[in-house]
Amino acid sequence: MEVRELYRRIVPHASALIQSASHLFWPARCLVCQNSIHPDDEGLCADCWQNLSASVASDYCRRCGRDVSPFGIVDGRCGGCREKNYHFDGVARVGVYESTLRSLILAFKFSEKTELDARLSEMLKQTLVGCGFYEQTDVIVPVPLHWRRKLRRGYNQSYLLAKRVKPADRVVSTDLVRIRNTQQQWDLTPAQRRRNVKGAFAIRKGHPFKGKSVLLIDDISTSGATLNECAKTLKLAGVEKVYTAVLATAFHDE
Ligand SMILES: [Zn+2]
Ligand SMILES: [Zn+2]
């Protein structure tokens, strides 16, 4: 399905309301490049729509999330993850962390444009439906922020996504917590990332995870270190399967 079409289908009945609300914040300017647009352009100019389509069009490895051609997968593993072991059991991703998708995620994450959560969540949900594990998961778990970072930002972007993508009859659990205020992963090498998040997560007492399948939600995955550490922590608490879903993957320095 064309991305723009997908975007159009977002909350069809509430779309007029959301559009009029979003116009208060973004009066007919492209969300990404600020070019003026027509109110019917749904937030982005033609160039940015085209860039977004390109970012979400590529095939990826369902085991690690890397870009890969379907012919590059052997026994469910791509060249990038063949030698690697993960605690999670699968990845669904909307696209690559670049261009328009990157700008939308950054706006969602740092500019208090939480109105974007409806749009980005719908893209994530469309990715999840049909990925093979969406319906099998019992509990939805956002990758947690440390309480100090959450206090500063005011919200956990992964929690907002989790609430919107969850199937109607499932719950979002916040019983996975971050007990160490880790450094941002972006500027670190893969080895530093693994060290940075090691032991950073814990599970609250009375958690609902034992014997369950969990869907772990994050906005960006850089090399999978955070998802892997979360999955490890969840499995130590008795989780059977950990599937992961992210808006974008970035394997920029491996
Ligand atoms: Zn634009
Ligand atoms: Zn892979």
| CA distances from residue 169 to 143, 165, 222 in whole angstroms, order as listed | 21, 11, 31
The reply to whether 49 falls in a domain is: no
CATH number for 239: 3.40.50
Q: How far is the CA of 144 from the centre of ligand 2 (A)?
A: 24
Residues lining ion ligand 2 (Cβ < 5 A) are 61, 63-64, 66, 78, 81
Q: How far is the CA of 43 from the centre of ligand 1 (A)?
A: 8
Q: Tell me: the pLDDT tens digits for 120-177?
A: 999 999 999 979 999 999 999 999 999 988 888 888 999 999 999 999 999 999 999 9
Q: How far is the CA of 76 from the centre of ligand 2 (A)?
A: 8
The reply to whether 13 falls in a domain is: no
Q: How far is the CA of 237 from the centre of ligand 2 (A)?
A: 26
For 48-63, what is the mean pLDDT?
89
**Closest ligand to Cα 83:** 2
Query: pLDDT-derived band of residue 31, with 50, 70 and 90 as boundaries?
Result: confident
Asked if pLDDT for residue 9 goes beyond 80, the answer is no
For 87-98, what is the mean pLDDT?
95
**Closest ligand to Cα 100:** 1
Q: How far is the CA of 146 from the centre of ligand 2 (A)?
A: 29
Q: How far is the CA of 163 from the centre of ligand 1 (A)?
A: 28
Q: How far is the CA of 36 from the centre of ligand 1 (A)?
A: 8
pTM of the model: 0.85
First to last CA, the chain: 31
Question: What's the CA dihedral at 160, 161, 167, 171 to 10 degrees?
Answer: -40
Q: Tell me: the pLDDT tens digits for 175-192?
A: 999 998 887 777 788 888
What's the number of domains the chain is made of? 1
The reply to whether 155 falls in a domain is: yes
Question: How confident is the model at residue 30, as a pLDDT?
Answer: 86
Asked if pLDDT for residue 88 goes beyond 50, the answer is yes
The reply to whether 15 falls in a domain is: no
Q: Tell me: the pLDDT tens digits for 104-123?
A: 999 888 876 666 888 899 99
For 47-75, what is the mean pLDDT?
90
**Closest ligand to Cα 45:** 1
The reply to whether 171 falls in a domain is: yes
Question: How confident is the model at residue 26, as a pLDDT?
Answer: 47
| CA distances from residue 111 to 26, 48, 114, 131, 227 in whole angstroms, order as listed | 13, 19, 8, 30, 24
* Residue corresponding to tokens 């740092």: 110
The reply to whether 145 falls in a domain is: yes
The reply to whether 233 falls in a domain is: yes
Domain that holds residue 110: 58-250
For 47-58, what is the mean pLDDT?
88
**Closest ligand to Cα 67:** 2
For 195-199, what is the mean pLDDT?
88
Asked if pLDDT for residue 1 goes beyond 60, the answer is no
Q: How far is the CA of 31 from the centre of ligand 1 (A)?
A: 7
The reply to whether 40 falls in a domain is: no
Q: How far is the CA of 32 from the centre of ligand 1 (A)?
A: 5
